[in-house]
Structure formats: structure tokens, C-alpha cells
Amino acid sequence: MLEIRASSDRGHANFGWLQSNHSFSFGNYYDPKQLGFSDLLVINDDRVKPGKGFDTHGHRDMEIFSYVLEGALEHKDSMGTGSVIRPGDVQMMSAGTGIRHSEFNHSREELVHFLQIWIVPDQKGVVPRYQQQHFSDADKRGKLRLIISPDGRDGSLSVYQDTRVYAGLFDGEETQDFSLPEDRYAYLHVARGSIEVNGQVLTTGDGARIRHEPLLSFSHGRDAEVLLFDLRPNELALVS
């Protein structure tokens, strides 16, 4: 079963320098029916104006990754990491015992558009770590490419949770079938374009909780970029 949530139903925040759409409850947006799904807690679709960004702030015991769609995102943290994240790059930060970081639009001229995603870890108090990896369009063209996994296999980034994240690009006749084990859930986020999944059409910003679907068939993409989360069969993200 695909339980689709339309892009227009997401929460929205407008801070002038930041436009953000929230797939799940976040900040001043609260919906008791949208408190995450399995270990997936946050998907924020952020657009930050040139030269603006998030001042230094802290996190603990959370797996946080950024997926840039347009522009360039500059990152600095208390581990001494300094980097710029561009389209195709995936950044993963395990906050563990505590980390402080800032994120800014690297450009003084162009908008940066990125997804910030939080996954609840399966262990607390780990040593903070930072990872970044580039996945080319060719890696994702017409298929779902593993970008995050518990063991970092196939060049993916490691996460402290029984979660796997795939990214794919689909257009025209490109198709992909994805087998989902009986004891797993999934969540689909359409970052851009449109895609048909098991006969249902999803467009930019749409999401879908997926339960009891042994096979997911992706087809009829129109400049589509998608993220698929392979998750434990829990209904809510449990944070303690």
C-alpha cells in the first residue's frame, strides 16, 4: 500500500532568507499524524538565499544528512570539518555525543536548494563523525543507487541505524523494479519532476509511506529525482 502525502499538505516556514517545506513535524509546524515514519524523523526541503544560512548550533544523538539539488551549501563544524556540498554530493553527520555546526549558502548570487534529513540512530553516545561522498548522475540514471547503509557497502555512507537510502534519476522510458522484503517498510520522497510508482503518479515534493508492497515499479519519469528509504516496520520515529 502506498499512502501518498501531497506536496501541498506539507508544513511551510518562511523566514525571508529561508523557505522550508516540512514533510514531518518540525519547528513551529506540528501535526500529530506526521511525527516521522519508522526511523525517519525529518525531511526539510530548504531554499536559502545567497549569502544566508544557519548560524552555529548544536545536535546530539541524531544522524543528519544533506542532499543538494541546486547551488552549493557550505558546512563548518566543531570537528574542524569545512566543506562545500554541491549537486550529487551527499553529506552525513553523526552527531553522537554532541557536535556544533553551521550551514550557509556558499554563493553570494545563487539560491541553494537542498534536503536536510534526520534519521534516529540505533545507539547513543557515539563519537561524532562526518562523511561526504559524490554520486554522479550516471550512478543514478535509470536506477536506484544505494547512497546510505548501515555498513557503508558499495561506496555508500554509513549510518547508525538499520536504514538504507537510495537515490535515482528517471526520465522517459527508464524503469526500475525494487524488491522490498515482507518485514520492511519504505518511504519515497520525490525531490523533483514526476514519477509513476505501482501505477500512482507522484510529483515534486510528494511523499509516500509504503507498507506491504513486495515490489515497487518505477516508470514514466519526467525529469524525476527520487529518494527511497528502506526502513524497519515501525509506524513512528521514536526519539528518547
pLDDT-based confidence at residue 109 (cuts at 50, 70, 90): confident
The closest of 58, 56, 94, 61 to 76, measured between CA atoms, is 56
- The string over 87-103, giving b where at least 16 C-beta atoms fall within 10 Å of a residue's C-beta and e elsewhere, is bbbbbbbbbbeebebeb
Is 90 exceeded by the pLDDT of residue 161?
yes
3-state secondary structure of 170: strand
pTM: 0.95
Q: Going from the N-terminus, what domains does the chain have, and what CATH number goes with each?
A: 2-231 (2.60.120.10)
pLDDT-based confidence at residue 57 (cuts at 50, 70, 90): confident
User: 144-149 and 157-158: which strand pairing?
Assistant: parallel
Is 90 exceeded by the pLDDT of residue 189?
yes
In sequence order, which residues have a C-beta less than 8 Å from that of residue 183 and are 6 or more positions away? 233
Phi first, then psi, for residue 140 (nearest 5°) are: -110, -5
pLDDT-based confidence at residue 240 (cuts at 50, 70, 90): low
Question: Cell 510508482 identifies what position?
Answer: 197
Return mean pLDDT, the chain.
Answer: 93
- Calpha distance 136→140 (Å, rounded): 7
Instruction: Give 59 or 224, the one with higher predicted confidence.
Output: 224
Segments of the chain assigned E as strands:
2-5, 11-14, 18-22, 40-48, 53-59, 63-70, 73-77, 82-85, 89-94, 99-105, 112-119, 129-134, 144-149, 157-158, 164-170, 176-179, 185-197, 200-203, 207-210, 215-231
Is 90 exceeded by the pLDDT of residue 99?
no
Is 70 exceeded by the pLDDT of residue 122?
yes
pLDDT at site 54: 76
